[in-house]
Amino acid sequence: MSLGKLPGTVATALVLCAASAATSAAPAAATGGVATAPLPPPATTAASIFHAVDANKDGALSPQEFAAGYAAVQRLMTLEIRLREQFGRVDADHGGSIDAGEYARLMLVRRAGAAAPPLAAFDADGNGSLNFAEYVAAIRRLAALRPAPAPAGK
C-alpha cells in the first residue's frame, strides 16, 4: 500500500472491520460467563465512522488518519474490556446485572454520597437492576459527579 490516500471503499472497509471488532470485544468470559450486549459504538455506520476518522474531510483516509482512527478504536476496545471486567466484579452474584445492593457498593456511588442518583435513574428497562449498557451510562454520569464533602471535623 502506498503512502498516498487510501481509496474510500478500502478505508471504509478497514474502519468497519475495526469498529466491528470493537463491538465484539470481551466475550462472556470477561463478565463471569454472562453474555451481555456490546457497548454501543458512538458511530453506528461505516459511513459515520469513516467521516469521523477523515479529519480533513476530503473523502479519503491518509495513512495518518487511518492510524489515528485505528488507535481510537483500540482505546475503545480496551475501555470496553475494562468496563466488562469491572461489571463482572461488581455483579457479585453473577446474575448478569447489577442489583441495588451491588450498585450501593460501587466506589463512585459511595464517593458521591447523597449526590449519587438512585439505581432507578439508570434503569432504562425498569427491571430493578442494571444491564451492561445501563451500567456504562451510570458509570459515565457518576464519574462526572464531584465527591460529597467530608463531614465537619474530619
Greater confidence (34 vs 18) lies with: 18
Identify the domain boundary among 67, 91, 115. 91
Q: Do residue 109 and residue 64 come from a single domain?
A: no
What is the DSSP secondary structure assignment for residue 116, as one 8-state letter? S
If asked whether residues 52 and 36 sit together in one domain, one would say yes
Q: Are residues 68 and 20 in the same domain?
A: yes
Same domain, 106 and 127: yes
Global pTM reads 0.57
> Does 130 share its domain with 84?
no
Domain limit, last residue, from 61, 91, 121: 91
Phi and psi torsions of 90, nearest 5°: -70, -35
Determine the Cα–Cα distance for residues 90 and 93; give it in Å rounded to an integer: 9
Work out the average pLDDT over 112-132: 95
Are 4 and 69 within one domain?
yes
How does pLDDT run across 25-62, given as a tens digit for each residue?
444 434 444 444 554 555 467 778 888 888 999 999 89
Residue 61 · residue 5 · CB < 8 Å: yes
Domain assignment of residue 85, given as a range: 1-91
50 and 35 within one domain: yes
Same domain, 122 and 65: no
Which backbone phi and psi does 34 adopt, to 5 degrees?
A: -95, 120
